[in-house]
Amino acid sequence: MPWNASDIPSQSGKTAIVTGGNSGIGLIAARELARHGAAVTIACRDTGKGDAAVEKIRADLGAAGTGAEVFVGKLDLASLDSVREFAEGFRANHAGGFDLLINNAGVMAPPRKTTADGFELQFGTNHLGHFALTGLLFDLLAEKPGSRVVTVSSNAHKPGKINFDDLQSEQRYFRWKAYAQSKLANLVFSNELERRILVSGLDMKAVAAHPGYAKTNLSTAGNSLGGDGIGGIFSTISGPFLKFGENLIGQDAEHGALPTLYAATVEGLAGGSYVGPDGIGEFRGHPVIVQGTGASQKLETGERLWQASDDPTGVTFPAILKSGMANAAG
């Protein structure tokens, strides 16, 4: 039988963070984790929307929702100050560690904008913000045996290339190229994190997932970030095409969230696994193990991206996490 949300094992006693858990697949993931007993923190920019998401989760869960432990924390991944503030606040209430971090939030194909720290918005939000968050909370994850980091990538990583000579797309900006780069960076980061976990002998794992072509507000959110000229025209043109694609080959958020939930909860899942839909082109279907591109698995790319993320964010992972290149040398 195909795997679905009813197959999630008990999450009682576990604590999870879901970035972008106020909408789309993040909301579904937060709801299902709470349904199965986890204490879930929805980390999002707009705490008002986060509070509304909590109410929706409680309503969806019915009688079981009254006892659900679902919380909201303010997190803007486009601001390293916000990432640090969230991490400090979470740390103050979870000194004993926590079990699951789902790096889910993101933006897709907006006109070129920069984060509060001057990074290109997609690379800064989708990758650097999550890199920093994971690093700032890593020691808390390492305290819990069997903990996981799930990073949500995309089918869009497949044509992606990481341009180390212009990571911030300052020389030339193509929104979809920049998006593909950011989603490839998500997968490269997840694979490199798993290599380092293995070398370090830690009882935890890093895995990744992608939702296929899910009908969420991600494309709308990206286009709503504004822009004029070519950017505004592109938003007007691309919106109908994206909607057409969603209706033709896409799947709803309920099904789009399944790969993330599979990656987050299936017992015995190998570290380094990448989970996506089993349908043609991985656009839709039930969650299975899929393959990322060769570019996502290169040791040198993983090491180089790590350094290119460590330096600008100013976030250094704890010393207990050793370089993945040490394993390659062996």
Catalytic residue positions, numbered? 179
Tell how strand 147-152 and strand 204-209 pair up.
Answer: parallel
CA distances to 100, 129, 194, 197, 299 from 191, in Å: 17, 17, 5, 10, 9
Tokens 């604590």, located at residue:
15
Residue the block writes with tokens 């070519």: 230
Residues whose CB falls within 8 Å of the CB of residue 1, separated by 6 or more in sequence, listed in order: none
Beta partners for residue 233, in sequence order: none
What is the DSSP code string of 194-220?
Answer: HHHHHHHT-SEEEEEE---SEESSHHH
Q: By the 8 A CB rule, do 55 and 139 touch?
A: no
Determine contact, residues 142/101, Cβ cutoff 8 Å. no
User: What are the tokens at 151?
Assistant: 């990073």
> Which token pair is 148?
């996981």
The contacts of residue 21 (CB under 8 Å, 6+ apart) are 27, 29, 30, 40, 41, 42, 43, 44, 50, 53, 102, 104
In this structure, what DSSP letter does residue 18 have?
Answer: E
Q: Which two tokens stand for residue 69?
A: 């432990």
Tokens read off for 120: 């290109």
Note whether 259 and 275 are within 8 A (CB).
yes
Nearest to 19 by CA among 105, 101, 77, 98: 105
